[in-house]
A and B are shown apart, each in its own frame.
Chain A
Amino acid sequence: MQIIVCLKQVPDTTEVRINPETNTLMREGVASVINPFDMYAIEEALRIKESLGEGEVTVLSMGPPQAEASLREALSMGADKAVLLSDRAFAGADSLATAYTLAAGVAKLGEFGLVICGKQAIDGDTAQVGPSLAEQLDVPHATYVRKVQSLEDNKIVVERMTEDGYEVIELALPALITVLKDINQPRLPSLKGKMRAKKAEIPVWGKEDLDVDEKLCGLAGSPTQVVKIFTPERTRECRLIEGSAEEQAKVLASELKKII
């Protein structure tokens, strides 16, 4: 069974800089890492493959050429192969255009049993690409998975976190799940894995290689337009109420009434 893990390379910092003209992330000069949630996706894929005793884990990423480094890290952890979707036409994609392009990549990879994504990326925080990709692929999906209970006979049973507990969901394969950090502890790379990853060939697929409509890719295919990104200003005033307890209570009550 082919298990496909989608991963995103993200800046390794909480203080990301924004290009004031395009309102997109400025990646230059910021160290990049695999999106932390995607690490759990890679680990889970490897565990499923190990428990099945067969199969292949393919890591797939859409991004600039330097995203290859993240794919190599996934290979060093034990993924079998990696493919990078990279083209100028893919740049500036929102979650819809990203899912569209990833779906074309998955289609080209051929038959698969399971797609695993991290629950969200720590830079965009939308948590949309996973479910959106499932729709594009026309397969069932479960988000916020904290545990895979079983995988057999063309079905997978997972525990999906909700606000007040969890749901047990059975999905027919092929399917897509997005995973939480509760699901496992990602392994470290091995030396043999690192050496193999260093030598591995990572194909780069552009718009010519995929069955895609260019108008639906990248910025052109993104209905989400970022108008402005800014940190909301937080204004806080502190006023000390003076007087006796009774007077203070009276002033406080009248102030609270104004807000309510």
Chain B
Amino acid sequence: MEYFLTEEQQMIKELAARIADERIKPVAAELDEKGEFPWDLMKVLAESDLFGVWLPEEYGGLGGGVLEQVLVVEELSRACSGVAVSYAASGLGSYPILLFGSEEQKQKYLPDVASGAKLAAFGLTEANAGSDAGAIETTAVLDGDHYVLNGTKQWITNGGEAEIYTVIAMTDKSKGSRGASAFIVEKGTPGFSFGKKEDKMGIRASATRELIFEDCRIPKENLLGREGMGFIVAMRTLDMTRPGIGAQAVGIAQGALDVALAYARERKQFGQPIASFQAVGHMLADMATEIEAARALVYAVARTIDSGAKDFSKESAMAKVFASDVAMRVTTDAVQILGGYGYMKEYPVEKMMRDAKITQIYEGTNQIQRNVISLELIKQAARKR
């Protein structure tokens, strides 16, 4: 398909693809098995300037946007989505600064994110606040020139590895979700520590940990935007990054299709390649069709955002929901096509199936995404009357 990428976007896609094929693919199974954070690969991505593709040039980026970021995430995910999400989470952790930070905060933090010298992470989820993000219990209390943070964030991607954390905490519990605020917290701040590293089903190369705040004092200038804006910061950030989850899903699915197609052409049963059997051929056809549809939607939403659209929660949710459901179906079918081999760890598709599952869950479950979409539909219909 022709997606009319600019020369620069094509360059970004090709470089990310080269890193995926030459550097990530050979180590993906090992990273998965050991659950080791891929620092070597983060360094390769940093040296290739890929961390900055979506950031403005004045902060050391290449001046691209969501589409550029999506191209990188998709290519990396073809090889290993655990690596891809570690890359993408740095974007998730720094979008709040780009969107809501003061000029000083942007100058202080974004160049290091753009160069890949530092990773970022985003801390919203808590044990009792998943889909119900308004239920967060972490608090931030102003005390002189500092905010004092207390509470625990859970399942934070890049936790422990990142240097820069954007964290949502309650500054005024009585106001509910309007009492939340967003803060920048640097690793190494006294009172800020990390909990256990989670042992996950998939994306095992990525680090997922708790962020623990015990009377953690941060300078009050680390507040992002104003007090009470925390929920808006979080929602606007997630609107920007959901196409990235869609891209991750497209990449995983494409990787699985590539393996399944190659296998189906080689594997012979009843004296002929199994690809020649219509039952298998039609599965491959459906997989390829769904992937292309998902990719087209993800790119279109990314372009919509980059064009300066104001409200794109619905579209962003659609890209995430559709692509992640496609990834789950495609990877499951890939395992089916490889049969017994597909179920074994010697072949890469079982990992892809495990990796695909999380895309239906994180950055808002697909059920929550459907709530967002349907609510927007109803709101828009009501406005027309």
Interfacial residues, chain A to chain B (CB-CB below 8 A): 187-195
Contact = CB atoms under 8 A, between A and B. Distances in A.
Majority secondary structure of chain A interface residues (helix, strand, loop or mixed): helix
B19 A188 contact: yes
Nearest to A194: B11
A194 B18 CA distance: 14
B49 A192 contact: yes
A187 B47 contact: yes
A195 B48 CA distance: 12
Contacts of B19: 188
Interface in B29-55: 44, 47-50, 53
Interface string B4-17: 00001001100100
A189 to B, nearest CB: 7
Given A194-B11, A194-B15, A195-B8, A188 B44 contact: yes
A190 B60 CA distance: 14
Interface in B170-222: none
Interface string B141-161: 000000000000000000000
B44 A191 contact: no
Contact of A191 (B12, B22, B23): B12
Nearest to B12: A191
A191 B49 contact: yes
A191 B62 contact: yes
Counting chain B CB atoms within 10 Å of each CB, the highest count among A190, A191, A193, A195 belongs to: A191
B113 to A, nearest CB: 15
A39 to B, nearest CB: 12
Interface in B314-345: none
A197 to B, nearest CB: 10
Contacts of B49: 190-193
A154 B310 CA distance: 62
Listed from nearest, the 10 A-B pairs whose CB atoms lie closest are A191-B49, A190-B49, A190-B48, A192-B49, A194-B11, A188-B48, A190-B47, A191-B62, A188-B19, A191-B15
B53 to A, nearest CB: 7
A123 B53 CA distance: 38
B8 A188 contact: no
Nearest to A193: B49
B53 A188 contact: no
A193 B50 CA distance: 12
A188 B49 CA distance: 11
Nearest to B22: A188
B50 A188 contact: no
Nearest to B8: A195
A102 to B, nearest CB: 30
A187 B15 CA distance: 12
Contacts of B23: 188
A194 B9 CA distance: 12
28 contacts: A187-B47, A188-B15, A188-B18, A188-B19, A188-B22, A188-B23, A188-B44, A188-B47, A188-B48, A189-B15, A189-B48, A190-B47, A190-B48, A191-B11, A191-B12, A191-B15, A191-B48, A191-B49, A191-B50, A191-B53, A191-B62, A192-B49, A192-B62, A193-B49, A194-B11, A194-B15, A195-B8, A195-B11
Nearest to B48: A190
Nearest to B64: A191
A15 B14 CA distance: 26
Contacts of B62: 191-192
Contacts of A195: 8, 11
Nearest to B68: A191
A195 B15 CA distance: 12
A193 B15 CA distance: 12
A152 to B, nearest CB: 26
Contacts of A192: 49, 62
A187 B18 CA distance: 12
Contacts of A188: 15, 18-19, 22-23, 44, 47-48
B103 to A, nearest CB: 24
A195 B8 CA distance: 8
B167 to A, nearest CB: 31
B112 to A, nearest CB: 16
A187 B19 CA distance: 10
A199 B384 CA distance: 51
Contacts of B48: 188-191
B48 to A, nearest CB: 5
A135 to B, nearest CB: 37
B93 to A, nearest CB: 21
A189 B22 CA distance: 13
Contacts of B15: 188-189, 191, 194
Contacts of A193: 49
Contacts of A187: 47
Q: Which of B8, B15, B22 has the most CB of A within 10 A?
A: B15
Given A191-B48, A191-B50, 10 more contacts: A188-B15, A188-B18, A188-B44, A188-B48, A190-B49, A191-B49, A192-B49, A192-B62, A194-B15, A195-B11
Contacts of A191: 11-12, 15, 48-50, 53, 62
Contacts of A190: 47-49
Contacts of B18: 188
A156 to B, nearest CB: 26
A190 B50 CA distance: 8
A24 B44 CA distance: 39
A133 to B, nearest CB: 31
A66 to B, nearest CB: 19
A190 B44 CA distance: 9
A107 to B, nearest CB: 34
B100 to A, nearest CB: 27
A188 B15 CA distance: 8
A61 B62 CA distance: 31
B299 to A, nearest CB: 19
Contacts of A189: 15, 48
